[in-house]
Amino acid sequence: MAVLNKIRQRSLFLILIIALALFSFVLADLFKNSDALTAKSQNIVATINGKDITREDFLQKVEAAQRQAGPTATNSQVMNRVWEQEVREAVMGTQFEELGISVEKDQMRDLLKTALATSPEFLNEAGLFDEGKLNEYIANLKETSPAGYEGWVNYEKSLASNALQQNYFNLVKAGLTGTLAEGEWAHKLEGNKVDIKYVQIPYASIPDSTVKVAKSDISKYINAHKKQYEVEASRDIKYVEFKEVPSVEDEDAMKAEMNTYVNGRFVDGTGRKDTIAAFSKVKNNEDYINSIAESDIKFDVRFVFKSGLPTAFADSIYNLNVGEVYGPYKDNGFFKVSKVIAVKQIPDSAKVRHILIPFVGARSATPDITQTDAQAKATADSLLTVLKADRSKFPEFVTTYSSDQGSVQNEGRYDWHPYNSMVPEFNDFEFEGKTGDLGVVKTIFGYHIIEIEGQKDKKKAVQVGTIARKIEPSEASVDKIFRDASNFEISVADKDFETVAKESKYVVRPVNGIKALDENIPGVGNQRPIVRWAFEDGAEVGDIKRFNIPNGYVIAQLVAKHQEGLMSVEDATASALPAIRKEKKAEMIRDRVSATTLEDLAATENTSIKTASAINMKNPTLSGAGREPMVIGAAFGLNEGETSKLIDGANGVYMIQVTKVTPAVELDNYQAAANRVEQQKTSVVNTKLYNALKEAADIEDNRAKTQVQ
């Protein structure tokens, strides 16, 4: 009981002890996981001028941009595009907030009116913009299509953002002026001229081999030019690629298979009955190519000229008689057997004009297209009837009805163009018809009313049927490549990467200076997984990892990790060395020269005195020596007849003497020159202002850490 009483008496003390113990435990855990104290949340992609961009929001925008960009744009390309948009929006948004500028409802309506002034769905009977139709369109979109309405909201935001930026740029431009003093200075900069005599001692006169540059010189140079040598964090790797490629045996087997179609296959001694007729004997070529031979490239009904055949085999195929076969031959990753099916004379070029009537669902049809297939055909047929009676209406109908913006400005005309330039149906009409033909043709783009205006240079064209088989590795070859990659990966785990590769005659490819957000690895293309691995927190120099790539594997080793900061002496040597040598050569020249006159210097250095006339500060170029701003600047600091000391220039060491000074003509008024100065200032606002704001902004980029790329 006595003990319990003592505990009760000291309860406050015990509570404090327990609290301190718990607090120290939490602190220890935080220090053990330092990222919890120092790193941004994994959900924050970036912080720009204090504004956080969340991972979820960023990826939603990337997904939308990817849909819009289509399959041709890589994920990293789209992400970088969205990133630049986000940075611009945040950087400019900071400026808008500080100035208190915004786009209000009335201005938004004016912006929409301007942007949609020519959109037919928002025009009234008089052809004028109707705000009521716009309101009806937005209300309907909101009720019927959430996705469409979201797209419309984004469109309005885009208009507003562009308007705000333009307002901001205009405000900056309004604050830029050219004063009379600046005008006078600009006038004199161009108009003040001097004539000089000079002696140049070129740096090239001293061999590079005689100039010793130590690592300490390079280090000193880097520190003196820090801005030039600041670098991002980077990684160096090397890798060996194992490609799944066909072996010689694979190609021989494929070639034998292709010969089956050349020679045919009949019942043999074992009783096999899977007869295959020789390609030269068949009549239904399309069925034979697509179904029996199961060609990897399907039958193409179009005729081709000699220039359209594989270059290396064009003569052999073009000169075949109808029904004759050529091959097997190897072309562009395929084994092929080709047969001439038909021959005819076709113009090599044609000139046409057309009117395109699209329908709902046709390729490139815009959202405002409402005609069905049948309605579009009826429209095309009715226009054709009118045109057959009066072809002079063609240009008028093009302007009124055609949706092909590529030809509307040229009265619907496509000037001389070669055979097979257009989609098949269009091509067949213009090249198989004759000059003057007028008709309606349906393609994937809609109904075309086409008039053939000219054809020329008929020549032989051939219809060629080709059985093609892609040259691919067999299963046995794929298995062997997998084993080779696995064995190499195991071997280099405890042996030197280069030595093992050399013993096996594998090519080692080094890749240096990889940045955290790079996606391309030279030699193997888009390989973000390799880049991410190289930048993982736990990755150490010497680590090795295997990566699956299209049609093969890469075994990679992390060679070096370069932290953000100043470039290393080794990496900076290539760019710093020439500049350091130039400085040392200038010092060597100055040390050996004691002459104080041009004549003595020229005699001592076994060179000549040169002249340059009418040089000015605006264009600091010295005739016979190139761009030399330091030398020309020094010339304008001398009086007429005065000789300079030695000057270190861009291409050598110089001594100059001013022989004539010609002042700029005095003007009564420098307003015109001041106006030019103002124009020069304002002309760079659109190109340089944003970059300056971006450079000054506080941007914390966590894309690599949050692994959005």
- Is pLDDT at 689 greater than 60 in this prediction? yes
- Is pLDDT at 26 greater than 60 in this prediction? no
Rounded CA-CA distance 704/235 in Å is 14
Exposed, middle or buried, 279 (CB in 10 Å: 0-12/13-18/19+)?
buried
Rounded CA-CA distance 82/67 in Å is 13
Instruction: Please give the pLDDT value at position 4.
Output: 39
- Average pLDDT of the chain, as a whole number: 88
Top pLDDT among 336 and 19 is at 336
Instruction: Please give the pLDDT value at position 394.
Output: 93
Summarised one tens digit per residue, pLDDT across range 380-393 is 999 999 999 999 99
Rounded CA-CA distance 425/448 in Å is 10
pLDDT-based confidence at residue 127 (cuts at 50, 70, 90): confident
Cβ atoms of 433 and 343 within 8 Å: the answer is: no
If you average pLDDT over residues 664-682, what whole number do you get?
93
Q: Which residues contact 313 (CB under 8 A, 6 or more apart)?
A: 326, 329, 331, 338
Summarised one tens digit per residue, pLDDT across range 498-513 is 999 999 999 999 999 8
- Is pLDDT at 31 greater than 50 in this prediction? no
Identify the CA nearest to 349 among candidates 462, 463, 461, 456: 456
Neighbours of 257 (CB within 10 A): 13
If you average pLDDT over residues 322-341, what whole number do you get?
95
- Is pLDDT at 1 greater than 50 in this prediction? no
If you average pLDDT over residues 437-447, what whole number do you get?
94
Task: Quote the percentage of the chain above a pLDDT of 70.
Answer: 92
Rounded CA-CA distance 541/70 in Å is 38
Tell me which of 404-413, 547-556, 584-593 is least confident. 404-413
Summarised one tens digit per residue, pLDDT across range 652-669 is 999 999 999 999 999 999
- Is pLDDT at 155 greater than 60 in this prediction? yes
* Calculated CA dihedral for residues 498, 500, 501, 505, nearest 10 degrees: 130
Instruction: Please give the pLDDT value at position 430.
Output: 93
Instruction: Please give the pLDDT value at position 429.
Output: 94
- Is pLDDT at 62 greater than 90 in this prediction? no
Neighbours of 311 (CB within 10 A): 9
- Is pLDDT at 30 greater than 90 in this prediction? no
- Is pLDDT at 648 greater than 90 in this prediction? yes
Instruction: Please give the pLDDT value at position 39.
Output: 47
Summarised one tens digit per residue, pLDDT across range 566-577 is 888 988 999 999
Top pLDDT among 162 and 31 is at 162
Q: Can you give the pTM of this predicted structure? A: 0.60
